[in-house]
Structure 1
Amino acid sequence: MTRAPKTQRYCARCGNRLSSYNAQKFCHPCDLAFREQLAHPPEVPAGFWQTDRMRDALSTWHIGQVIYAYRLHPHHGRVLPQELIASWLGLTQAQLSRIENGSAPEQLSRLTQWAQALRIPAELLWFKLPASDGEASVPEQHDGEADVRLARWLFAGGRGTPPASSRTGDLEQIALALDDGYRYFDGAAIAFFREQLTKSKADDGIHGSAAALPLALAILAAVREHCKGVKSSVRQPLLALGADGAEFVGWLYRDLRQPIAAGYWYDRAIEMAQEANDLAMQGYVLLRKSQMAYDDRDGSRVLSLAEAAHHGPWQLPVALRSEITQQIARGLAMGGESFGEVERKLDEARQVLARGQGNESDEHTHRLRSASTYIEAGRPIQAVSIYRTALDSGALSTRDEGYFRARHAVALALCGDPDSAADEGLLAIRCATEKQSARTKQELVRAIEAMDRWQHRPGPRELRETVYAGANRL
């Protein structure tokens, strides 16, 4: 019996034969070209919004269903992946999936941002867009995918024309710093780069993440370039320094609420740490990834990444081991574990910290992290007590003060004290605006959500209006 020949399939765009292993409708070059064309939302004809599927989605008043209909629209020639749409909207794929499949989002600032990004006509929306009176009415967009392209260009040595990104205006500073790195490279290169990285971290503490980013990116590019062709005795510590810098850049993007770019740099940090045989840095980055998962309230990843950091083959400082144990407690609380089990894990973290030569700062930050866990465990009143003591001490940096005031506002709202929560939130927004901390703004949005049933009161109403009016400045 003869076997029936397989049907040959062809690319729907260029007509070339498709590999038998390719289950898609397009060949790899056409697929790449298609994605490059869609680096930003495309211009669409007016009739795009008049199809039955799109009009039905708009009539639901559910932005997730509108985005889903947008992705499936035949105008695109194919179904647009969630990852692509998420990059346009400043989201992760997991966040977009929850928006499409969950309850309808109601926060006006988010609805406005997403509708403007996709260019949905205002007359078709169920909410009113802000008045168009110049640039102030348009939320600033950060393209995470574009920042990743900039990172790859820098890693390739920064040669040729740089790709456009939300950091294009910083390229002159990056180029100057790169030039400094090349000029001063000699036997003391590692000390030079470490000094520059320390300066960048100081800029972050004083001026905020956006101000620190150009120099940090330049340092990484220079480190990567100088790793080529140097002796192994120099290359390994240089890579360890690069891993430290990549982890720091991941943090900067995290504070700017650009999770795609943050995740990219955390991955690069682990790769360089592996090359440098720096086990401790690998564990530390896993903790950082767990903390970023908490920013998105992804409880399962919070727990799994923290446990991976805990069980890895590395020797970590006592304070870091204690922090990882606390993060496990937070993940357990988010997963609905009993309060007794969560408290037991927090006690374990306290015991670990007590075994080391900790300082007052370690104790301080330990208590603040515990407060966050108490919120997740349904014990906000314990969190309020901790936050109040920490904030009254005056020991926090401006950015940390803003972030923890926002967390304090959440705890106060959960305790049924919306007026005090609003007061804390208004103090937090000043710090967030000064340091351009989008992460703090995200916590303030959560505080507003917790005060939703009191939104008619003057304090919560003022906070809502202030946060949404200031969205363009963060």
Structure 2
Amino acid sequence: MARSPKAHPSCPRCGGRLARDNDSGRCAPCDTAERDRLSRPPVVPASFWQHGALRQALTERNLGRVIRAFRNHPYHGRNALPQSAVAGWLGITQAQLSRIENSPPIVHLDRLIHWAQLLRIPPRYLWFSLPDQPLPADNPPAAHPPADVPVTQAGPATPPAPADAVTTASDEGGGTTDRRQFHALAALAGIAATGSLDLLAAPTDAPRTIGLEQVRYASSLVDEFRRADAAVGANDLCDVAIRVHAHLSNWAAKATYSREVGEALHAALADLANQAAWLTIDAERRPETQPFLYEAISRSRMADDPRVEVQGLAMLSLLHREDRPGESLHCAEAALRASSGWATPRLLTLLHLRRANAYATLRDASGFNREITKARREFDRGSHEDDLSFIHFVTEQEVDGLQGLAYLALERPDRAAELFRLIATTPSPTLRRNHLLYTLEFANATYRQGDVNEAARTALGALPELRQMQSMRATRMFAQVRSDLGLPAHSTAATREFVEAYDQFVRR
């Protein structure tokens, strides 16, 4: 009986016929075209994402399985991409990747976004939204949710704002507080709508088992807090964040969860602790800050998440800059060591700025000059797709502002005023609180130069912003400017106008 001819295998990349002695599973031109495929993720065709195992992993909303299916895709030939190479793309070890591929879904939003962008997963296949990318309406639902995740009807992360809660905020004296509380409470309402987690319920009323769905929504709160804080400051928002963190911590101490959920939970609690710490700094409640940061660092190590640890160390450096500059310097150095090998230019900019300001407080001009040069050099390298969300504020304005503060510490108000003037004349649409603070530093610098009229005009021009802001740091700085300019020796028409306007504002 005649045998039917054996079909020639085809290259999965281009469809061309392979030679009989080809043992790689890909034709020579395709291998040549992607010689660097092990050094970075390859650019794949749209059909790549339709492969059965990969589509199933996306449907299950499990990025670890997505990565495993990505590695083993026929597109790469007969040999799967090695774990060591893919782990290098992701900035983790081979052992960590092995655990992630074989564990329940990860929920840390920073990692989900970073890895999805790195692999170039089309947004329509994702179950979370990328920055500046709305969540697609046709996202596939989870076909088989993990056993430890209760099946709930997910609600919106932030419900629509009532029109009067936002539009009247700038017209009424108490509107800003209402708007800030709305941002925080709207985020909580989004979580409550899922039926998965009531962060404000008494711990005794909370479910006894924590699943990944609850942790995922708890993690999403941090972004809500950051946005509201950047817009209006931390005064009342601080109490909300502390309350949420306390309830979630108490619940976690009494509930049961798997090892994988525990890692995600510790990462979420560390992130919330860092955010609560920052809010206490802006609300001028610094005695409450350090315990949150120590908790964030310890939990980040339990979660094997160095990114959260670096954030905590960077904030410790900020916290101790004025009263313990030597310790501030060591915290920034520890953050640089912990981020070695994966830090982006923007993160390195921030850490070198922290060291520069500590050196300035120590009156070490050479150390300051060395670190500010490094910070400027890293900043000039530009932003990176791997930038962490917590460094969104590291803009040119912030670099100028922190350098200006260092010049004030070095008794160089002239140089500081030059930098603060640039900031004061360039308002930020998103970082309004920081813009106001540096505008007040401009008034402080010109006052220290002896120009009380310029200081008064600057402070008077910034006073309306205080009506839209709930930052105790800004309130304290305004009070200090008023105290300085209110001295009889500084009485001029400009200073009297500011003092009168400020006092009238305070009496309201």
User: TM-score, length-normalised on structure 1?
Assistant: 0.55
* In structure 1, C-alpha distance between the alignment counterparts of 2:310 and 2:393, rounded to whole Å: 24
User: RMSD of the alignment, in Å?
Assistant: 3.6
Q: Which residue of 2 aligns with 1:400?
A: 434
* In structure 2, C-alpha distance between the alignment counterparts of 1:282 and 1:361, rounded to whole Å: 18
Amino acid at match of 2:259: S
Q: Does 1:254 align with 2:281?
A: yes
Aligned with 2:449 (options 415, 423, 426): 415
Aligned with 2:245 (options 220, 226, 230): 220
Cα shift readout 1:30-57 (whole Å, capped 9, x = no counterpart): xxxxxxxxxxxxxxxxxxxxxxxxxxxx
Aligned with 1:303 (options 329, 348, 351): 329
Shift of 1:378: 2.4
Aligned length: 302
Amino acid at match of 2:233: G
* In structure 1, C-alpha distance between the alignment counterparts of 2:231 and 2:339, rounded to whole Å: 35
Q: Which residue of 1 aligns with 2:491?
A: 456
Contact between 1:401 and 1:428, CA under 8 Å: does it hold in 2? no
Evaluate the alpha carbon distance shift between residue 174 and residue 201 of structure 1 in structure 2; reply closer, same or farther with a 3 A threshold. closer
Cα shift readout 1:206-237 (whole Å, capped 9, x = no counterpart): 44323433543354245433883111112212
Evaluate the alpha carbon distance shift between residue 208 and residue 348 of structure 1 in structure 2; reply closer, same or farther with a 3 A threshold. closer
* In structure 2, C-alpha distance between the alignment counterparts of 1:241 and 1:307, rounded to whole Å: 25
Q: Which residue of 1 aligns with 2:297?
A: 270
Q: Which residue of 2 aligns with 1:83?
A: none
Amino acid at match of 2:422: T
Q: Does 1:238 align with 2:251?
A: no
| Greater C-alpha Rg | 2
* In structure 1, C-alpha distance between the alignment counterparts of 2:360 and 2:405, rounded to whole Å: 10
Amino acid at match of 1:455: H
Evaluate the alpha carbon distance shift between residue 181 and residue 200 of structure 1 in structure 2; reply closer, same or farther with a 3 A threshold. farther
* In structure 1, C-alpha distance between the alignment counterparts of 2:264 and 2:233, rounded to whole Å: 28
Shift of 1:421: 0.9
Contact between 1:200 and 1:216, CA under 8 Å: does it hold in 2? yes
Evaluate the alpha carbon distance shift between residue 351 and residue 388 of structure 1 in structure 2; reply closer, same or farther with a 3 A threshold. same
Cα shift readout 1:42-90 (whole Å, capped 9, x = no counterpart): xxxxxxxxxxxxxxxxxxxxxxxxxxxxxxxxxxxxxxxxxxxxxxxxx
Shift of 1:423: 1.9
Evaluate the alpha carbon distance shift between residue 368 and residue 302 of structure 1 in structure 2; reply closer, same or farther with a 3 A threshold. same
Q: Which residue of 2 aligns with 1:197?
A: 222
SS in 2 for 1:393: coil
Cα shift readout 1:346-385 (whole Å, capped 9, x = no counterpart): 1111122334536996333222221211222222222222
Contact between 2:187 and 2:224, CA under 8 Å: does it hold in 1? no
SS in 2 for 1:435: coil
In terms of mean alpha carbon deviation, does 438-447 or 229-238 score higher? Answer: 438-447
* In structure 2, C-alpha distance between the alignment counterparts of 1:360 and 1:173, rounded to whole Å: 23
Q: Which residue of 1 aligns with 2:360?
A: 333
User: TM-score, length-normalised on structure 2?
Assistant: 0.52
Q: Does 1:384 align with 2:430?
A: no
Evaluate the alpha carbon distance shift between residue 322 and residue 202 of structure 1 in structure 2; reply closer, same or farther with a 3 A threshold. closer
Contact between 2:424 and 2:442, CA under 8 Å: does it hold in 1? no
Shift of 1:333: 1.5
* In structure 1, C-alpha distance between the alignment counterparts of 2:501 and 2:492, rounded to whole Å: 14
Cα shift readout 1:168-223 (whole Å, capped 9, x = no counterpart): xxx99999788668634854223322333322322323443234335433542454
Q: Which residue of 1 aligns with 2:205?
A: none
* In structure 1, C-alpha distance between the alignment counterparts of 2:375 and 2:258, rounded to whole Å: 41
User: Could you tell me the percent identity over the aligned residues?
Assistant: 18
Shift of 1:320: 1.9
Contact between 2:235 and 2:472, CA under 8 Å: does it hold in 1? no
Cα shift readout 1:330-358 (whole Å, capped 9, x = no counterpart): 12122122x34422321111122334536
* In structure 2, C-alpha distance between the alignment counterparts of 1:343 and 1:448, rounded to whole Å: 33
* In structure 2, C-alpha distance between the alignment counterparts of 1:229 and 1:391, rounded to whole Å: 51
Amino acid at match of 2:255: K
Pick the structure with more helix per residue: 1
Q: Which residue of 2 aligns with 1:370?
A: 403
Aligned with 1:348 (options 374, 380, 385): 374
